[in-house]
Each structure stands twice: as structure tokens, then as C-alpha cells.
């Protein structure tokens, strides 16, 4: 596989434009936590306007910015972005979230910036998460199921990035390990329930990159910085 931006990453901070930051915390503060990249995206309440606002607030800081759009209508054209990370949900109940939304984006945008666009092969694991409801995902998956999905992503579909998403709850370490063992060339992202140094260290021993999201909105800078340190120490 070709060299990808995330080959040297350990930690990604995901900022949801529909969620507030803790009192006194700025986007600049979050950019200065030491995270390798910032991904701007969310599932509900996302608009072009709130996407632009977050990207513009982070743009003056020296950290790579990526947009993760939840649908084609919220994609923004902002040169501060390093690129776009587009979810394709492998265990979605509707094909719309595997290829349908992507087809619509290509159809509506006649001039795709392919050099800055990558897909994320999502495996959604928390049935109570908005993303699971939104995509009608089948989250009743064993470690063997998840490993098979990861293998399909890498070997059949040539996905450079596999994203194991527990979204709001801490995942099953055995399942994350199984996904890690199933991927060879693909980079494994893990997101969900990371809330301190120890939880970050646990998942960073298996995943190539840990993704921290809610923590930034709930706890702020110090807590995020702890997870950055854990990812680097793992």
C-alpha cells in the first residue's frame, strides 16, 4: 500500500461541531494537546456552517485537520483541511451507508479532490450510539466476526484504514485485539470510551491509532493530553 498521512500517528482528536467545549477551553487549547491530527465530524446536528466554524477556529494552529462528513450535504471546501476521511460502514443495515451516500457525493460533486480523499472502513460496535441507529448497524458481532470484517476491508476492498468504533462506550479488548491481528497493512483506528491514561494505554496496545472524542467536550484539555501521552508510551 502507498504511504498514508496516518502512518506515523498514534492519536487523533475528534471534534464534534454540534457539541460545546468545556467552559474556558478553546479550540486552540485542544490543538495544543499534542494530538497527531484533528478530525472534525459527528453524526447528528451537523451543518456546513458548524463544520466551517470549527475548521476555521483550528486552522491557525499547527495540527493537521481532516473533515469526516456524515453525509454529502455537509462537505465543505476549505483549504485549511488536509483532506477528507469518509466512513463506509461495513456492518450497516442499509447499503446507503456502505456505498449509497458515497455515490451521491460523487454524482453531486463533479470535481472530487481524490488526492485528499480517503475512506475509513468502519465497524460500528455500540448499538446504543447514534451512528448505529443512523446506519442500522448490526452490532451483535463476535471477535471472529470483527476480524473477518477487518480482513474483508483490507484484503478484498483494499482499505488503508479500518476503524473499530465503540462510540461512547469502552470496547472489548479481546475484540480490538482480534481486529489488530486480522490487519497487516491497514491501519487500525479505535474509538470509544477512552477517558484517561489507563484506558488510552489499554487500547493503544492493540490499535495503531486511538481516537478520542467525547473527552474533549466533557473534560477538556488536561484529560485529552493524558491520552496523548498514553498513546505515545504504548
Helix (H, G, I), strand (E, B) or coil at 15: strand
Dist CA 153 CA 98 (whole Å):
12
Q: Please choose, from the candidates 108, 192, 186, the residue with its C-alpha nearest in 3D space to the C-alpha of residue 152.
A: 186
Q: Is 213 annotated as a binding residue?
A: yes
Q: Is 193 annotated as a binding residue?
A: yes
- Whole-angstrom CA distances from 15 to 47, 56, 65 are 14, 13, 10
The b/e string for 150-159 (b: 16+ C-beta within 10 A; e otherwise) is bbbbbeeeeb
Cβ 126 vs Cβ 144: under 8 Å: no
Rg (CA), the chain: 16
Q: Is 192 annotated as a binding residue?
A: no
Q: Is 163 annotated as a binding residue?
A: yes
Place of cell 488526492: 115
Q: Is 215 annotated as a binding residue?
A: no
Q: Is 165 annotated as a binding residue?
A: yes
Q: Is 14 annotated as a binding residue?
A: yes
Q: Is 171 annotated as a binding residue?
A: no
Q: Is 166 annotated as a binding residue?
A: yes
Dist CA 80 CA 136 (whole Å):
33
Binding residues for Mg(2+): 16, 43
Binding residues: 14, 16, 43, 163-168, 193, 213-214
Binding residues for sn-glycerol 1-phosphate: 14, 163-168, 193, 213-214
Amino acid at each position: 500500500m502507498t504511504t498514508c498521512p496516518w502512518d506515523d500517528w498514534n492519536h487523533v482528536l475528534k471534534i464534534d461541531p454540534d457539541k460545546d467545549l468545556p467552559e474556558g477551553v478553546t479550540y486552540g487549547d485542544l490543538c495544543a494537546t499534542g494530538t497527531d491530527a484533528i478530525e472534525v465530524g459527528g453524526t447528528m446536528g451537523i451543518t456546513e456552517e458548524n463544520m466551517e466554524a470549527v475548521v476555521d477556529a483550528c486552522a491557525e494552529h499547527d495540527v493537521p485537520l481532516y473533515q469526516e462528513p456524515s453525509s454529502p450535504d455537509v462537505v465543505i471546501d476549505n483549504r485549511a483541511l488536509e483532506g477528507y476521511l469518509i466512513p463506509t460502514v461495513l456492518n450497516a443495515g442499509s447499503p446507503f451507508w456502505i456505498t449509497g451516500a458515497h455515490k451521491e457525493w460523487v454524482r453531486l460533486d463533479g470535481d472530487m479532490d481524490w488526492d485528499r480523499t480517503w475512506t475509513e472502513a468502519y465497524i460500528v460496535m455500540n448499538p446504543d450510539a447514534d451512528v448505529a441507529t443512523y446506519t442500522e448497524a448490526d452490532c451483535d458481532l463476535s471477535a471472529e466476526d470483527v476480524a473477518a470484517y477487518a480482513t474483508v476491508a483490507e484484503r478484498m476492498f483494499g482499505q488503508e484504514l479500518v476503524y473499530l468504533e465503540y462510540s461512547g462506550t469502552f470496547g472489548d479488548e479481546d475484540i480490538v485485539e482480534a481486529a489488530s491481528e486480522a490487519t497487516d497493512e491497514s491501519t487500525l483506528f479505535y474509538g470509544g470510551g477512552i477517558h484517561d491514561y489507563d484506558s488510552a494505554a489499554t487500547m493503544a496496545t492493540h490499535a495503531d491509532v486511538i481516537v478520542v472524542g467525547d473527552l474533549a467536550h466533557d473534560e477538556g484539555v488536561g484529560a485529552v493530553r493524558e491520552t496523548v501521552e498514553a498513546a505515545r508510551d504504548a
